[in-house]
Amino acid sequence: MDLAQLTSDLQSLRATATAAASAAPDTAALDALDVEVLGKKGGITAILRSIGGLPPADRPRLGAVGNEVRAAVEGAIAEARARLSRSELAARLAAESVDVTTPGRPVRRGSLHPIMETAREIADVFAQFGFVVYEGPEVEDDVTNFQMLNIPPDHPARDLWDTLYLDMEGRLLRTHTSPGQIRVMHQEGPPIRALLPGRCFRYEAVDASHASEFFQVEGLMVDEGTSMADLKGLLDQFAHAMFGAERPTRFRPGYYPFTEPSVAFDILCVICNGEKCPACSRTGWMTILGAGMVHPTVLRYGGIDPERYQGFAFGMGVERIANLRHHVVDLRQYMEDDLRFLGVFR
């Protein structure tokens, strides 16, 4: 064995190995080549095993050649491996492709009831003005539902509230959220900014625009200087929040026994924009709530001195607001709970 022969063997191993690397059909062949040439029992090691038979001066030279060949073969295999894995990946990706245009796997969509959501949205608007939510009982008594609201027994204004009476002396289902005013006045005392949402009941034949169970939101504000101008400003802001900043409003006299002066609050018809259509009874306006300055008698029943304090109250039907916002024409739909109807809502 001489240096030249061994060097030549290494060089030829290098040539065949690099050729084999570049010709390898897959990474498995490269793995085999790696073992065959570079492994502990591989070709390079086998050749270098003869190094002991060389003169000491030649040994480093052969070692150098061996390292060079090893590096070259390693490089060739690595290069081939990189090339092959790219094409194998490409092949795998190609094989994995799906029809991306099919619909996705549906996630069941729930929804929140439009009446509950509208009540919440109303509360959100007034919350910006410091109004906090209170709730009162639905089973009320005649005294709180009527008498303390300045509606004595046998008062003709009782015709405004057809009442469902209960089989308990003096009890009834509240016809409006207004009795909550009395409860809040006693509970808090001025200054008051309260919002009272809730379910109400009336003896009312059900049709597209009447329900015997419905939801109201009542508002109450009491302080020394709380005026009708404050009421108007607040209601204007409310109407703009719910129906758009451009929506004209109208403040006109109304009648409730528990407010004096009393107010009816209109917005320009959302269907015809004032052109006068059947939806607004050809008036061009739609009434969205009733309001007024709390009657001094009601303040007194609430334990508040009407000589010092004054305030306003307002009340609205949630269904009415929801109808106008969501273009619902038959309010029976709200309690029919057909999921095809409810599924539209957020």
Partner 1 sequence: MRVPLSWLREFVDIQLTPEQLAERLTLLGMEVKSVERWGADWQNVVIGELLTVDQHPRADRLHLTTVTVGDQVLSIVCGADNIAPGQRIPVALPGAVLPGDRHIERTEKMGVVSNGMLCSGDELRLTGDADGILILPDDTPLGVPLADLYGDVVLDVDVKPNRGDALSILGLAREVAAATRAEVRQPAVAVEEGSGPSSAERFGVDVRDPDLCPRFVGRWVSGVRVGPSPDWVQMRLLAAGQRPISNVVDASNYVMLELGKPIHTFDAASVGTGPDGRPLVVVRRARDGERLETLDHVGRELTADTLVIADPDRPLAVAGVMGGANSEVSDATTDIVIESAIFDPVSIRRTAFRLGLRSEASSRFEKGQEARMARLGADRTAQLLREWAGGQIAPGRVDTMPHEPSPARVSFRPARVNRLLGTELTADEQRELLARVGVETEPASAGDRVNVALKPNLLAVVPDLSRTLTALVPTWRRDIVVESDVAEEVARVRGYELVPSVTPDTLMPGFRASPLEVRQLVRETLAGAGLTEVVTSALVSPRHVEAFALAREVPSVEGEDQPGGDPIGVTNPLSRDHSLLRRNLLGSLLDVVATNLRHGTPDIAAFEIGKGYAHTGADVREWWRLGIALTGAAGEPAWNRVTRPYDLDDAKGVLELLARRLGLPALEYEPETAEPVFHPGRTARATAGDDLLAIVGEVHPDVADAWGLRTTQRVILAEVALRGLAAGRLAPERAHAVGRFQEVDRDLAIVVPETTPAAAVEALIRAHAGALLRDLSLFDIYRGVPLAADEKSLAYRLRLGAGDRTLTDPELEAAVAGVVAALPAIGGRRRA
Residues 194-213 that bind partner 1 (CB under 8 A): 199, 201, 203-206, 212-213
Q: Which helix (H) or strand (E) holds 203?
A: none
Triad 96, 102, 104: Cα angle to 5°:
95
* Nearer CB in complex with partner 1: 32/229: 229
The minimum distance between CB 164 and partner 1, in angstroms, equals: 5
**284 touches 276 (CB < 8 A):** yes
93 belongs to the binding site for partner 1 (CB under 8 A): no
157 backbone dihedrals φ, ψ, rounded to 5°: -65, -15
* Nearer CB in complex with partner 1: 36/188: 188
120 belongs to the binding site for partner 1 (CB under 8 A): yes
Query: By CB under 8 A, what part of segment 234-263 binds partner 1?
Result: 234, 236-237, 250-255, 257, 260-263
Give the x/- contact pattern for partner 1 in 141-170, rule: CB under 8 A. Answer: ---------x---xxxx-xx---xxxxxx-
Applying CB under 8 A, which part among 26-34, 58-66, 70-78, 223-231 lies near partner 1? 223-231
Alpha-carbon distance of 84 to 6, in angstroms, equals 32
* Range 260-298 burial, b when 16+ CB lie within 10 A, else e: eebbbbbbbbbeeeeeeeeebeeebbbbbbbbbbbbbbb
Return all residues near 305 (Cβ < 8 A) that are at least 6 apart: 299
137 belongs to the binding site for partner 1 (CB under 8 A): yes
The minimum distance between CB 225 and partner 1, in angstroms, equals: 6
55 belongs to the binding site for partner 1 (CB under 8 A): no
Query: By CB under 8 A, what part of segment 286-325 binds partner 1?
Result: 293, 295-297, 299-301, 306-307, 310
64 belongs to the binding site for partner 1 (CB under 8 A): no
279 belongs to the binding site for partner 1 (CB under 8 A): no
Q: Which DSSP state fits 134?
A: -
Q: What is the token pair recorded at 345?
A: 């809502």
